[in-house]
Amino acid sequence: MSQITIVALGDSTTAGTPLFLSPVESPPDGWGDKTSQFSYWMMQSHPDWQVLNRGVNGERTDQIAARFDRDVLGPRPRAVIIIAGVNDVYQGKSNESITSTLDDMYRRAAAAKIPVVAGTIIPYNTATPAQNEAMREVNDWIAQQAGTDRNITFVDTRLAVARPDDINKLRASEDGLHPDAQGYRLMADALIPGVEKAIGQ
């Protein structure tokens, strides 16, 4: 069975924080509880996929974009999952700077003929009302981009891990900031159909 390479590019919620360090953070294979990353659960569901975890805890969109050539164009994947922006919001960066950088990554992927699976910023329990509004606005923009760009497949990863009664709180968390292992599994469950659509499986 030939493996299909998918790159998961992002911050802590791609890396698997707090229980896992990604291979970028702890070369060569990462370290910790491997079930604390959505890439693990995606590969459990699809043994024919190699989902490369290229998440780094604490990074903003500009820092993630700085790794794009190495971490996305280098492996030449069939698709790239991009989930980014929560640290920008946390640090008070403007929505315009977030969406501009996301748009740049989407365009670079398209230029390389790599489909994008665009996930939404997921919640963290200590976010202020203003921060939640900023995340909602960015997530709405991501959905709009996917609606007009055939190279982008939208996945609402925020909805996947949020409490059913409160979209602004995590369903379950070790630290109040990141999903627990089951939450990462729920992210995988949401992302898998998006990747299947993006690669035509």
The model's confidence at residue 2, banded by pLDDT at 50, 70 and 90, is confident
Looking at the chain, the whole-number percentage of residues with pLDDT higher than 90 is 97
Whole-number pLDDT of residue 49: 97
Contacts of 141 (CB under 8 A, 6+ apart): 95, 99, 102
3-state secondary structure of 114: coil
Question: So where are the chain's domains?
Answer: 4-199
Whole-number pLDDT of residue 1: 59
Contacts of 162 (CB under 8 A, 6+ apart): 122, 123, 168, 169, 170, 171
Residue pLDDT, tens place only, 58-70: 999 999 999 999 9
- Looking at domain 4-199, which CATH architecture does it have? 3-Layer(aba) Sandwich (3.40)
φ/ψ (deg, to 5) at 49: -100, 140
